[in-house]
């Protein structure tokens, strides 16, 4: 596989291992609600914050969405979005490595970029996640060729990209099926006039004629009366009568089964009646004079709680307009803000309610706000003042029931909680010694992760940390009292060993200790 090289590559690929494990310290004044809430906002450098999350969340995150600096001078103040390519790559490589380790085996990462660093980013993503785990490169149309964009000569750029990789496509990874709202398919231009009769006697008339008959007018009279509203009214008529609106289509005779071929032949021999083939788990086939009737009802999909004309989502996302974007969330963010509908689409594709979502370039807090409204758990990391000035007030408004963005489409009514954290000191000091104020649960999480590569899920009330791959792990440490006596918990005594064996037996009966 081709490998991308840059000036400081050899040093950069080891950057993540050099970052110390640091504590996350809650700021209660900036938190909202229950201190046991799983939703987290973290203020601090995202590389340090991601490393701090590893002992607790490795392999737990279902979806990561990041909108890193595009390297085009468009980012907000505390990101240098005019970096040289090699510096941009060095920043991204270390972070992407940790993000990979945080992803669940069935997880997905989506990276939002323009074409400035697109090719370079794909190269390092292929290296970190593997080329075989590349899912899609979706084109997001974020603007139109109007205003100042239309003045510049040459090709007008109105799109950027969402690059999507799976953690492991072979490990039961499966995206959700998502549909988008589309305009009426005008090929469906026929109407079953006598739908109440038995199907063999059904007759077709033009759709426009059927619509005119509902008001007792001629087509010309109806169009004149409705004027510009004619197509809108016709769309509504089609949706209400989707069982009767059809499109005759000639099937591929060689591409269908024998039973369907026989029915095609029968319908040609007897062209004055409709034939029916009933199928399990598929739409029934109605055939008339060698042509299959495709029903408009099969095109209807539920999108945002509404039954509409829909089609499967493609890799061209041209239906997510950024109208009134500056007002979304009630925070001002002149550059770099993404529409809530875009994040909603990513989460609809790759998560379900209760799943954990992560954004390590949180910006104005859009990903956290959308995840909150959609019933996903989330971790958002923002290194600048926007964590306090934008993200906190935005999420508080969400909790209060703010109705901007996607709120109406997901029927958001408010509620929920989040906790706010800042980065604390490293777990180990400059000499590699455990800091004196480190509490047992924190050290236990770091020790267990260092030994197993998996997050620790214990309660911190026992020296026994858990079993992994047939091996038991225990930690003798009393970071609260600093008591080094045998009774203080730092010394392996017969009593301590017996306790550890008892804990092992609880989770692994029959083990001999």
pLDDT value, residue 511: 58
Q: Which of 167-171, 282-286, 323-327 is predicted least confidently? A: 323-327
Per-residue pLDDT tens for 452-503?
888 888 877 778 888 888 888 888 876 444 455 555 566 777 777 887 888 8
Residue 78 in this model has a pLDDT that exceeds 60: no
Per-residue pLDDT tens for 363-395?
999 999 999 999 999 999 999 888 999 999 999
pLDDT value, residue 480: 43
Q: Higher confidence at residue 298 or residue 76?
A: 298
* Residue 427: C-alpha distances to residues 24, 45, 227, 381, 437 (Å): 10, 16, 72, 20, 9
Per-residue pLDDT tens for 409-461?
999 999 999 999 999 888 887 777 887 778 888 888 888 888 888 888 887 77
Angle of helix 392-399 versus helix 366-373 axis, rounded to 10: 20
pLDDT value, residue 84: 74
37-174+314-423 domain in CATH 1.10.10.10? no
pLDDT value, residue 76: 42
Q: Residue 445, class by beta-carbon neighbours within 10 Å (0-12 exposed, 13-18 middle, 19+ buried)?
A: buried
Q: Cα(309)–Cα(235) distance, rounded to whole angstroms?
A: 9
Residue 335 in this model has a pLDDT that exceeds 70: no
Q: Cα(247)–Cα(295) distance, rounded to whole angstroms?
A: 7
Per-residue pLDDT tens for 194-205?
999 999 999 999
* Token couple for 138: 């979706």
pLDDT value, residue 470: 82
Q: Higher confidence at residue 469 or residue 358?
A: 358
pLDDT value, residue 186: 95
Helix, strand or coil for residue 226?
helix
Q: Higher confidence at residue 83 or residue 284?
A: 284
Residue 295 in this model has a pLDDT that exceeds 80: yes
**How many CB atoms are located within 10 Å of the residue 334 CB?**
7
Q: Higher confidence at residue 189 or residue 142?
A: 189
Spans of all domains in the chain: 37-174+314-423, 190-303, 427-507
Please answer whether residues 330 and 405 qualify as being in contact, where contact means their C-beta atoms are separated by less than 8 angstroms.
no
* Residue 316: C-alpha distances to residues 176, 312, 331 (Å): 17, 11, 29
Q: Higher confidence at residue 330 or residue 72?
A: 330
pLDDT value, residue 86: 82
pLDDT value, residue 433: 80
Residue 37 in this model has a pLDDT that exceeds 80: no
Question: Which sign, positive or negative, has the C-alpha torsion 74, 75, 79, 85?
Answer: negative
The residue-averaged pLDDT of 326-339 equals 68
* Strand extents, DSSP E, 253-398: 274-277, 285-288, 291-295, 300-303, 306-312, 316-317, 356-359, 377-382
pLDDT value, residue 334: 55
Q: Are strands 306-312 and 274-277 parallel, antiparallel or unpaired?
A: unpaired
* Residue 197: C-alpha distances to residues 200, 203, 207, 314 (Å): 8, 10, 18, 39
pLDDT value, residue 144: 79
Q: Cα(339)–Cα(322) distance, rounded to whole angstroms?
A: 6
One-character DSSP codes across 40-67: EEEES-HHHHHHHHHHHHTTTEEEEEE-
**Model's pTM, two decimal places?**
0.84
Residue 324 in this model has a pLDDT that exceeds 70: no
pLDDT value, residue 72: 52
pLDDT value, residue 117: 87
DSSP 510: T
* Token couple for 495: 């009593």
Measured CA angle at 363 (ends 336, 412), to 5 deg: 100
Q: Which helix (H) or strand (E) holds 159?
A: strand 159-166
């Amino acid at each position: 596989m081709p490998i991308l090289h840059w000036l400081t590559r050899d040093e950069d690929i080891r950057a993540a291992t050099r970052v110390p494990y640091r504590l996350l310290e809650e700021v209660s004044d900036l938190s909202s609600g229950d201190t046991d809430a799983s939703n987290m906002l973290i203020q601090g450098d995202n590389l340090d914050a991601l490393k701090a999350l590893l002992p607790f969340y490795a392999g737990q995150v279902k979806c990561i969405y990041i909108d890193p600096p595009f390297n085009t001078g468009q980012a907000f103040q505390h990101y240098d979005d005019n970096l040289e390519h090699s510096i941009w790559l060095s920043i991204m490589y270390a972070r992407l490595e940790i993000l990979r380790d945080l992803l669940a085996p069935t997880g997905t990462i989506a990276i939002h970029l323009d074409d400035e660093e697109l090719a370079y980013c794909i190269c390092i993503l292929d290296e970190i996640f593997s080329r075989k785990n590349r899912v899609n490169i979706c084109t997001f149309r974020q603007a139109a060729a109007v205003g100042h964009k239309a003045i510049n000569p040459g090709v007008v750029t109105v799109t950027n990209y969402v690059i999507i990789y799976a953690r492991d496509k072979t490990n039961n990874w499966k995206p959700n099926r998502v549909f988008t709202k589309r305009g009426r398919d005008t090929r469906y231009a026929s109407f079953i006039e006598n739908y109440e009769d038995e199907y063999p006697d059904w007759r077709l008339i033009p759709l426009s004629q059927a619509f005119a008959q509902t008001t007792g007018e001629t087509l010309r009279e109806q169009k004149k009366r409705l004027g510009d509203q004619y197509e809108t009214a016709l769309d509504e008529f089609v949706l209400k009568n989707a069982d009767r609106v059809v499109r005759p289509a000639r099937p591929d005779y060689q591409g269908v089964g024998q039973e369907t071929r026989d029915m095609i032949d029968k319908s040609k021999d007897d062209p004055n009646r409709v034939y029916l083939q009933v199928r399990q788990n598929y739409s029934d086939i109605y055939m008339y004079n060698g042509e299959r009737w495709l029903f408009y009802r099969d095109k209807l999909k539920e999108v945002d709680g509404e039954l509409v004309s829909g089609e499967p989502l493609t890799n061209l996302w041209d239906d997510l307009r950024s109208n009134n974007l500056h007002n979304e969330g009630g925070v001002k963010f002149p550059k770099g803000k993404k529409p809530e509908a875009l994040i909603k689409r990513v989460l609809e594709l790759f998560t379900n309610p209760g799943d954990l979502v992560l954004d390590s370039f949180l910006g104005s807090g859009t990903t956290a706000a959308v995840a909150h409204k959609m019933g996903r758990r989330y971790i958002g990391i923002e290194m600048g003042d926007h964590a306090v000035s934008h993200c906190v007030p935005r999420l508080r408004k969400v909790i209060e029931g703010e109705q901007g963005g996607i709120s109406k489409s997901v029927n958001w009514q408010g509620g929920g909680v989040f906790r706010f954290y800042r980065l604390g000191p490293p777990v180990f000091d400059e000499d590699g010694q455990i800091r004196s104020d480190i509490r047992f649960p924190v050290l236990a999480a770091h020790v267990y992760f260092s030994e197993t590569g998996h997050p620790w899920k214990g309660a911190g009330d026992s020296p026994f940390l858990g079993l992994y791959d047939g091996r038991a792990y225990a930690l003798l440490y009393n970071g609260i009292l600093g008591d080094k006596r045998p009774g203080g918990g730092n010394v392996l005594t017969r009593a301590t060993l017996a306790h550890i064996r008892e804990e092992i037996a609880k989770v692994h009966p029959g083990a001999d200790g």
